[in-house]
Amino acid sequence: MLLEEFLQETRYLSIGHLYFHEAKLTLFENAKKKFAHFVTVDVEHEMKTFPDMDVLLIEIGDVSKEKLKRLVSLFTKYKPIVTYLFTDDIENKLLLKFALHFGITDVLPLLNQEKTLLSIFSKNPNKLDEKLHLFKKTELETKIEQFFPFFLFQGNHLVYANAKAQRLYETNEVALIEDKMYCDEDVLALLENKSDAHGMIVLDDVYYMAIVKCFPKKNEKILTLMSDFPRGEIKDCSFMLNRFDFVDQLKDRLAQQSVTQTEIALTFILISNSEKLSKNFSGSALHETLKRVLNLLFDLTEEDQALVQWSPNLYLIMSEKRHFEHVCKQAKHIQKELINTPFHPQIKPVIVTSAMEIDAIDLSQSIEIIEKINTQTLVPHDVEHIAYYEVAYLDNILDEGEQIAYLMHHAIQNKLPIKLLNIYKGLCINTTSTVLKMSNNTYHISCENLQGYAMQLEGETVLQASNFPKDIRAEVAFLDIKKSFAIIKNLSFLPNSANSRQHTRVQTSFRTPIVIKYAKRSSAQGDILDISVNSIAMKIKKLFREEELKESKVHLNFSLPNDTGEYGYVIMDIDAKVTHISQLDEDHTKVVVLLDDLPKPYDEYLLHYMYARQKELILEIRRATKAYN
């Protein structure tokens, strides 16, 4: 990709060319003249007025602590999508440590040549490519925007309302529209959310699906209203309460209960994957799905029961004069109907239905428990003294194998995208896939070359999707990397999420012996299994009991490749804390240690190694898969 093509594709992004004193990359000069979104800034003199940028191209030249100090304040305040550093010394330890800490995309030589840019634009896809894809969609979405009332808020103030929104509120004055919106309790409740949200509101006897999209970085919110159905299309909507009316009614019922002894129970219908659905699917498609969910809930609500919308992802049914056993039975029936109803070809809400008797608790306790259900923070201790019953998602499908078969069948029928996850020598490989078909308890899936290569090495993969209640592990039965095709078998749920790594770990390029000293005078030898910036996992040739080492301080001695050391190696002589011990076989123990606040120069040695090793692995897997392209 040439520079002009790149700038044309990134016309919706802001790009900053930063330098100290004098710009050496003069090939950017023409870009600055032709493209308004490309700006050049002298870090020494113009940083006070520097705006937030999506892409940063920073000339640092010769590295100094003063220059890095200025950049630290920049990266503390702003979070660009990608950043490239251009330097006279690409092996500088201080700069590499800085780059690793702040997630710099790459460190490149400061050469005023076109090939320097080609090395950027020809690399494999990264976060910038994803952003470019998003902005291509934006052009289409901008055209669609004219069909819906659309509002933009900066902080708590409305700053823009499109023509459709102005017609809806019968004024083109933004301040008047804002006043009218804040007088509506339902709209106000939605706008008070600090994350993405959606819900039903009524304006002039018309029901709208209101969708709020939050942009915390810019302190902005976008509200879109969508409606293609009149009041009559949602059944018995006069019986649906908002949270404010519901609290008032519940307060009255609890006050009367002390005299009448009437049984009161609540049924909760939680869309537990609401946030994932909002991120993965367009507003109109999600609107249709939630409209159908709401219609079904009205059908399932019995006579004299009240349906309540507590939040965009939580609905309640308030029941009176019904035994709790009947309420639980109804909750189970609601769950079954919601699972078996095809709301949308691709969108699958993950529903968690529960019921609670509130005879023994007051209004404050009731609201506290409802809000914990809403935020999915409820724990058994919260309801141990209350009659509470929960119907988990897929409770109507008891066998794990049948549950997985149901989820995979749904993915095939509706062509749902899934994610595959593998680990290549410590690096996470996570790409999109599609389930093509099912055959004799096996599944045919697509897979990208990088993913296929990692699957070939591991012999398995992990499947992830927004409608999967848990990640699914699968064995690889057949693989054709060149055709981007695989067959998987023996699928099972993982007890915990596969995305549990706090720091990137890498395996060493060759066997790395390590000596561990413990209990003052004792020692043992072994090999490093993998290493990160704050931990080391090792295989020790000795059997340990957990109580011997767990949580104890140990001393480690090993070497790492480094050009500054004698014979190309440096000795790591450091202290650590044991956090995990497990027996590998009859002769070996796996020991994991935590590295906390390594002293200089050991912290720099480790950072340099991690940075270099990650780049090695990326190049290694690219070379390995080149033959399959």
Distance (Å, rounded) from C-alpha 489 to C-alpha 460? 9
Asked whether 126 and 54 are in contact (CB, 8 A), the reply is no
Q: Which CATH topology does 505-616 take? A: Thrombin, subunit H (2.40.10)
Q: Which residues of 434-446 are buried (b: 16+ CB within 10 A; e: fewer)?
A: ebbeeeeebbbbb
What does the angle CA 618 – CA 133 – CA 616 come to, to the nearest 5 degrees?
5
Structural class in CATH, domain 401-493? mainly beta
DSSP 8-state symbol, 464: E
Token pair, residue 81, equals 């999508």
The 3-state DSSP class for residue 181 equals helix
Of 520, 552, 549, 526, which Cα lies nearest the Cα of 539?
A: 526
Distance (Å, rounded) from C-alpha 537 to C-alpha 556? 12
Please tell me the predicted confidence (pLDDT) of residue 229. 44
Distance (Å, rounded) from C-alpha 272 to C-alpha 281? 15
Cβ of 92: how many Cβ atoms within 10 Å?
Answer: 17
Q: Say what the alpha-carbon torsion angle 249, 255, 258, 262 is, to the nearest 10 degrees.
A: -10
Distance (Å, rounded) from C-alpha 626 to C-alpha 629? 5
Which numeric CATH code is attached to 3-142? 3.40.50.2300
User: Across-strand partners of 63?
Assistant: none
Does 243-391 carry CATH code 3.30.70.270? yes
Distance (Å, rounded) from C-alpha 200 to C-alpha 408? 31
601: preceding bond cis by omega (within 30 degrees): yes
Please tell me the predicted confidence (pLDDT) of residue 514. 96
DSSP 8-state symbol, 481: T
pLDDT along the chain (629 residues), means of 10: 64 81 83 76 76 85 89 84 88 88 86 73 54 53 61 89 84 89 86 81 77 85 70 47 84 77 89 78 76 87 88 90 90 86 79 87 89 85 87 64 81 82 87 89 92 93 86 94 93 75 76 92 92 91 86 93 90 93 91 90 91 88 82
Please tell me the predicted confidence (pLDDT) of residue 397. 59
Please tell me the predicted confidence (pLDDT) of residue 311. 86
Phi, psi of 534 (to 5 degrees): -135, 10
